């Protein structure tokens, strides 16, 4: 059975995924800090060793007929000096091949995760805006419905009031008709907003989130391959 993607399996776990990715980047950053400290220590050790030993270098080359202890000393000091040089060279190589690449990797991954967070916030903001538009249209629908009902009651009362002038009865009837038009308009608007919201909601959960989480999974796999 093929393994399901994160987008299919973890579409409702985005915040947990963000935490997982943050932890993984933090682990990579810990490696960077470790090797960075090791590189600095090795560089400082090599530098100090070289400077310290250089003080003890023989001022002149020993003659072949000198004591063996002198000859031994003259040969050992340069060897120790070379150890310092070797540590400096090793620290330089460590910096170039490990520390700097890890630094760049951590910086890139942090920027990438921040962009993904911004994209996630944008997706949610779009859905929230759609929800608010639906809520506003619903409130308008309810208000116009109540106003239409009230206008109907007033108009009916006016039509049954034999003491009320015909012109006044017509005014209340006209007001009722205008409320019907407003209600019909708000009803159509609410139906449109509901359709838009349902469409956005389906796209958000069936497509946008799945694609978004799959993108995070791709970034995670690339990081694992690098480390």
Residues 6 and 214: beta-carbon distance below 8 Å: yes
Lowest mean pLDDT among 67-76, 108-117, 172-181, 196-205: 67-76
Q: In whole angstroms, how large is the CA radius of gyration of the chain?
A: 39
Helix H or strand E segment including 64: none
pLDDT in tens, 53-106: 988 877 766 555 555 655 567 788 889 999 999 999 999 999 999 999 999 999
**Structural domain includes residue 143:** yes
Q: What percent of the chain has pLDDT over 90?
A: 58
Mean pLDDT value across residues 159-171: 84
- The Cα 60–Cα 184 span in angstroms is 108
**Structural domain includes residue 45:** yes
Mean pLDDT value across residues 184-196: 96
pLDDT above 90: residue 146: yes
Considering only residues 227 and 185, tell me which one the structure prediction assigns the higher pLDDT.
Answer: 185
Mean pLDDT value across residues 163-184: 89
The reported pLDDT for the residue numbered 71 is 55
**Structural domain includes residue 1:** no
pLDDT in tens, 12-61: 788 888 898 899 999 999 999 999 999 999 999 999 999 999 888 777 66
**Structural domain includes residue 7:** no
* CATH code of the domain in which 189 resides: 1.20.1270.60
**Structural domain includes residue 3:** no
- The Cα 55–Cα 70 span in angstroms is 16
Among 35, 146, 187, smallest CA distance to 100 is for 35
The reported pLDDT for the residue numbered 186 is 96
**Structural domain includes residue 60:** yes
Mean pLDDT value across residues 130-138: 96
Residues 115 and 219: beta-carbon distance below 8 Å: no
Of the spans 5-9, 78-82, 159-163, which averages the highest pLDDT?
A: 78-82
Mean pLDDT value across residues 181-210: 93
200 three-class SS: helix
Domain count, the chain: 1
**Structural domain includes residue 2:** no
Residue 1 — very low, low, confident or very high, per pLDDT cuts 50/70/90? very low
Mean pLDDT for the chain overall: 87
Measured CA angle at 208 (ends 196, 206), to 5 deg: 75
- The Cα 130–Cα 108 span in angstroms is 33
**Structural domain includes residue 184:** yes
- The Cα 138–Cα 187 span in angstroms is 8
**Residue-number span of the structural domain to which 87 is assigned:** 13-225
């Amino acid at each position: 059975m093929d393994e399901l993607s994160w987008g299919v399996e973890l579409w409702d776990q985005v915040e947990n995924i963000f935490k997982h990715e943050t932890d993984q980047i933090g682990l990579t950053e810990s490696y960077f800090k470790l090797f960075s400290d090791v590189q600095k220590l090795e560089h400082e050790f090599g530098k100090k060793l070289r400077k310290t030993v250089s003080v003890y270098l023989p001022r002149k080359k020993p003659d072949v007929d000198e004591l063996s202890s002198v000859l031994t000393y003259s040969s050992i000091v340069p060897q120790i000096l070379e150890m310092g040089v070797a540590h400096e060279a090793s620290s330089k190589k460590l910096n170039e091949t490990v520390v700097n690449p890890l630094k760049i990797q951590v910086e890139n991954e942090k920027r990438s995760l921040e962009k993904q967070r911004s994209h996630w916030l944008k997706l949610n903001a779009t859905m929230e805006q759609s929800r608010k538009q639906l809520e506003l249209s619903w409130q308008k629908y309810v208000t116009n419905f109540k106003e239409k009902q009230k206008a109907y009651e007033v108009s009916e009362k006016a039509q049954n009031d034999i003491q009320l002038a015909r012109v006044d009865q017509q005014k209340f009837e006209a007001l009722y008709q205008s409320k019907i038009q407003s209600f019909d308009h708000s009803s159509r608007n609410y139906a449109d907003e509901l359709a838009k919201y349902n469409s956005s909601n389906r796209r958000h959960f069936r497509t946008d989130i799945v694609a978004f989480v799959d993108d995070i999974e791709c970034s995670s796999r690339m990081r694992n391959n690098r480390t």
